[in-house]
Amino acid sequence: MRLRKSALVIIVVIMVAATGFLSSQMLSYASNFKIGYIHVVADKAVFAEGEDVTFELRSLTPDVAFTVTGNTGSSGVYIYHIPSGLTPEQYLHKFVTSTWLESPSAWGRVAFGNFNESDSPLRLTWNGTYEVSSSMSSSMYGMPPGYYQATSGYYLLFPRSNMYEMGMSSGPKPMIDSSSIFYYDALIAESNVTSDPMGSSLSTSISIRLADGSAPLSSCPLVCRQQVWGINLLQEYHNYTVDLGADHWTSETFLTSASSVYYGGMQMWAILTTPSGDYLFGFDADWYGGELTVRQF
């Protein structure tokens, strides 16, 4: 019995020693494996149309060496339009929990040069426009290439670097919070699609209003393209001439047959031409078994 107790004591001592060694190794590994973080902060919460959106790129970990380049490939600070169906808080929650940006595409990109962990905050500017490239135009969106004015809504500043975009552990990670979001006060454009109770047709609606204090506009061309894919591919263009004001909504509605798209998707974009520039807005939608899921942009 005494021998058995002695053996048990020896085993316990070995386990304690092994646990202490393993813990020290884990702490040593943790101290050597450090992650850098970068943060984008808007200068203020609200910017008006025609005003440059100014913000800073900051390093949050000056003791962790890194270098990011924001002017190659698809890197840079991206400006994402938060879908109108989500509040900024809901959007941040969805991003933090799923790391997925629920937006069809970025509505702006600001390039920058090399940025290091010890650099002072880098000041950057976005002019409130975004580009539809030829490659994007030739994709399923089919939007005409060019530069477009941003519409009203909440926007997220999101830094992207080729390093962490490719999943490399050595690259810094973006820190996203409410200070990375701002409201852009401009022309308000809303669009949506609904189905009738029988699921036989889709009703697309567009509503537009000028920002408060804006002078009325008359005879503005509005071009809409809707594409529905399912059993058959349907593509329609609708052309309107609209008068706009800050004290009322201007709305247009058109119907599309849904008999051949019981399962599939649809996408609508609209271009409004004004003396100050062209505005692009619309939505993506999934259509499964008569149920619609719509994401405005």
Write out pLDDT tens, residues 159-176: 877 544 433 445 688 888
Q: How many domains does the chain have?
A: 2
Q: Are residues 152 and 229 in the same domain?
A: no
Q: 185, 211, 227: which is the final residue of a domain?
A: 185
CA distance 82 to 107: 10
Question: Does the global pTM surpass 0.75?
Answer: yes
Q: What's the CATH code of the domain at 215?
A: 2.60.40.10
Residue 33 has pLDDT above 60, yes or no: no
Classify residue 48: in a domain, yes or no: yes
CA distance 47 to 108: 15
Residue 160 belongs to domain spanning = 37-185
Classify residue 24: in a domain, yes or no: no
Q: What's the CATH code of the domain at 103?
A: 2.60.40
Q: Which amino acid is present at 224?
A: C
Which of 26-30, 136-140, 182-186, 266-270 comes out lowest in average pLDDT? Answer: 26-30
pLDDT for 55-101, tens place per residue? 999 999 898 888 888 887 778 898 988 887 788 888 887 766 655 55
Which has the higher per-residue pLDDT, 36 or 46?
46
CA distance 158 to 77: 5
Q: Are residues 205 and 178 in the same domain?
A: no
Classify residue 81: in a domain, yes or no: yes
Q: Are residues 89 and 176 in the same domain?
A: yes
Which pLDDT does position 100 carry in this prediction? 52
Q: 151, 185, 219: which is the final residue of a domain?
A: 185
Maximum mean pLDDT: which of 15-19, 71-75, 176-180, 241-245: 241-245
Q: Is residue 76 within 8 Å of 140, Cβ to Cβ?
A: no
Classify residue 126: in a domain, yes or no: yes
Q: Are residues 177 and 212 in the same domain?
A: no
Q: What is the percent of the chain where pLDDT is above 90? A: 34
Which pLDDT does position 23 carry in this prediction? 35
Classify residue 205: in a domain, yes or no: yes
Question: 56 burial class (0-12, 13-18, 19+ CB within 10 angstroms)?
Answer: middle
Classify residue 5: in a domain, yes or no: no
Which has the higher per-residue pLDDT, 25 or 229?
229
Radius of gyration of the chain (CA): 26
Q: Are residues 46 and 179 in the same domain?
A: yes
Three-state DSSP state, 81: strand
Q: State mean pLDDT over 133-147.
A: 69
- State the DSSP code for 170: T
Classify residue 21: in a domain, yes or no: no
CB within 8 A of 123, min separation 6: which ones?
A: 54, 55, 56
- Picking from 49, 14, 3, 17, the residue whose alpha carbon sits closest to that of residue 215 is 49
Which of 109-118, 170-179, 268-277 comes out lowest in average pLDDT? Answer: 170-179
Q: 130, 163, 185: which is the final residue of a domain?
A: 185
Phi-psi region of 252 (alpha: psi -120 to 50; beta: other; left: phi over 0): beta
Query: 245 φ, ψ to 5°?
Result: -150, 165
Q: Are residues 168 and 217 in the same domain?
A: no
CA distance 188 to 206: 11
Which pLDDT does position 12 carry in this prediction? 34
Q: How confident is the model at residue 7 (pLDDT cuts 50, 70, 90)?
A: very low
Q: Are residues 42 and 159 in the same domain?
A: yes
Tokens of 190: 């809303």
Tokens 């107790």 belong to which residue? 5
Tokens of 40: 């984008």
Which of 117-126, 139-148, 180-189, 201-210 comes out lowest in average pLDDT? Answer: 139-148
Which pLDDT does position 97 carry in this prediction? 61
Q: Are residues 253 and 291 in the same domain?
A: yes
Classify residue 251: in a domain, yes or no: yes
Which of 25-34, 60-69, 186-195 comes out lowest in average pLDDT? Answer: 25-34
